[in-house]
Amino acid sequence: MGQAAPGLITPQEPSSRKTEGQFLSRLDVFLSEPLRRTPLEEHGRYRLLVCIALGLMVVDVLALLFLPFNPQAWNDGPVAFVSLLLNVLALVFLRRRSSHELSALLVCWTIAGAFVVSSLTSSWPYTASHAAGMLLPALSVYLVGPRSGLVLTVLMSLYVGILHPLRFTTPGVVSPPIPAGHLWMLDTFAALCMLGIWAVSWLHTSAREHAQAAREQALRTLRESERKLHSLIENTDDQVCSLDIEGRVIIANSAMRRAFRERHGREPVPGEPLPIHDPAGIQEKIRQRIRQAITGQSVRIEDIHKQGERVQVVDISIKPVFGEDGQPQGVTLFGRDVTERREAETKLGEMHRTLLDVSRQAGMAEMATGLMHNVGNTLNSVNVSASLITDRLRGLRVGGLIRAAELLREHEGDLCTFLATDPRGQQLPAYLIALSGQLAEDQQALLAEQQTLTDGLDHVKSIVTMQQGHARVAGMMELMSVTRLIDDALRLHAVSFERAKIDIHREYAEVPPILLDRHKLLQILLNLLSNARHALIDSGRPDKRLTLRVQPAPEDRLHIQVSDNGKGICAEHLARLFTQGFTTKKDGHGFGLHISALAAIEMAGSLTCDSAGPGQGATFTLELPMQCEEPRS
pLDDT tens-place string over residues 98-110: 888 888 889 888 8
473 pLDDT band (50/70/90 cuts)? very low
d(CA 549, CA 482): 11
Tell me what pLDDT residue 526 has.
83
pLDDT tens-place string over residues 480-536: 889 988 888 887 777 778 888 899 999 999 988 988 887 788 878 888 988 898 889
Mean pLDDT of 65-88: 82
Tell me what pLDDT residue 465 has.
66
Task: Name the percent of the chain lying above pLDDT 90.
Answer: 8
Tell me what pLDDT residue 130 has.
77
pLDDT score of 318 more than 80: yes
549 pLDDT band (50/70/90 cuts)? very high
Q: Which among 576, 577, 572 has a CA at the least distance from the CA of 527? A: 577
DSSP element (H, E) containing 524? helix 518-539
287 pLDDT band (50/70/90 cuts)? confident
Give the count of alpha carbons within 13 A of 155, CB side only. Answer: 13
607 contacts 597 by C-beta, under 8 angstroms: yes
Tell me what pLDDT residue 282 has.
65
Tell me what pLDDT residue 367 has.
62
Calculate helix-pair angle for 15-27, 40-65, nearest 10 degrees: 80
d(CA 366, CA 350): 24
Backbone angles phi, psi at 243, to 5 degrees: -120, 150
292 contacts 321 by C-beta, under 8 angstroms: no
pLDDT tens-place string over residues 435-461: 777 777 877 877 777 776 776 676 666
Tell me what pLDDT residue 10 has.
36
Query: 611: left (phi > 0), else alpha (psi -120 to 50), else beta?
Result: beta
pLDDT tens-place string over residues 368-426: 665 665 566 566 666 766 777 787 777 777 777 787 788 778 777 777 777 777 787 77
Cβ-based neighbours of 399, under 8 Å, separated by 6 or more: none
Look at residue 169 and give its three-state secondary structure. Answer: helix
SS3 track for 431-475: HHHHHHHHHHHHHHHHHHHHHHHHHHHHHHHHHHHHHHHHCCCCC
Other Cβ atoms closer than 10 A to 241: 24
Tell me what pLDDT residue 606 has.
92
Mean pLDDT of 250-255: 85
401 contacts 437 by C-beta, under 8 angstroms: no
Tell me what pLDDT residue 6 has.
35
d(CA 447, CA 425): 33
Calculate helix-pair angle for 101-121, 146-158, nearest 10 degrees: 10
- Whole-number average pLDDT of the chain: 79
Tell me what pLDDT residue 633 has.
42
612 pLDDT band (50/70/90 cuts)? confident
362 pLDDT band (50/70/90 cuts)? low
Burial of 422 (0-12, 13-18, 19+ CB in 10 A): middle
Tell me what pLDDT residue 175 has.
56
8 pLDDT band (50/70/90 cuts)? very low
277 pLDDT band (50/70/90 cuts)? low
Alpha helices in 540-612 (DSSP H): 571-574, 592-602
For the chain, the farthest-separated pair of C-alpha atoms sits apart, in whole angstroms, at 210
d(CA 216, CA 459): 96
d(CA 417, CA 430): 17
pTM over 0.75? The answer is no
pLDDT score of 563 more than 90: yes
Task: Name the percent of the chain lying above pLDDT 70.
Answer: 84
Lowest mean pLDDT of 236-250, 442-456, 465-479, name the range: 465-479
Position with higher pLDDT, 86 vs 435? 86
Tell me what pLDDT residue 278 has.
66
9 pLDDT band (50/70/90 cuts)? very low
Tell me what pLDDT residue 280 has.
61
Taken in order 424, 429, 430, 432, the sign of the CA dihedral is: positive
Look at residue 18 and give its three-state secondary structure. Answer: helix
pLDDT tens-place string over residues 215-242: 888 888 888 888 888 887 788 888 888 8
Position with higher pLDDT, 237 vs 49? 49
- Cα distance between the two ends of the chain: 74
DSSP element (H, E) containing 428? helix 423-470
pLDDT tens-place string over residues 97-153: 888 888 888 988 888 888 888 888 777 777 777 777 888 888 888 888 888 889 988
